[in-house]
Amino acid sequence: MSDAQTEQAQTGEPESPYAPSVLKLQAAMKKATLIALPVVIVAAVVIAVIVKGTGGLYGALLGGVLALGSSLLTLTIMRYSAHQSPQFAMAAVLGGYALKLIVLFGLTFALKGVTVIDRYSFGLTFAACVVVAATVEGRAFMTTKTPTVIPNSSL
């Protein structure tokens, strides 16, 4: 029995016709992200250490870990909202996005006076990781064979 069928049997709710497609897409995006982002983080750390020293190391590591965590949080939300209505899934993803922005802004302001962490290394690593994550997730969407229109859907 698949995960979707097990969950459906436990909750007694009808499965969303979108769930198999969303779960397949989420798995492909997660795989691509977990392959690409560590490479970007290591490259950013090496460059930051060469250019900024120890502060660059800490800044790049923090930026990379936060970007990876942010991407994985989005993919986790995608997985857990796959069995819900598209409206609920959209609300969950937007809520997660808002939460990530609040945490990022709060952390950026909290790091303002910290001299151990190079803010430029942090920001550039975070930005590079977000761009790469969006690119590989978009590529995973384009290459994963999932229907984008579900015929005879009741939703």
For residue range 94-150, what is the model confidence (pLDDT) as tens digits? 888 898 889 888 888 888 888 899 989 999 999 999 999 999 998 988 888 876 665
pTM given for the model: 0.78
Q: How far is CA 32 from CA 10, 19, 140, in A?
A: 31, 20, 7
Beta strands in 81-136, from DSSP E residues, in sequence order: none
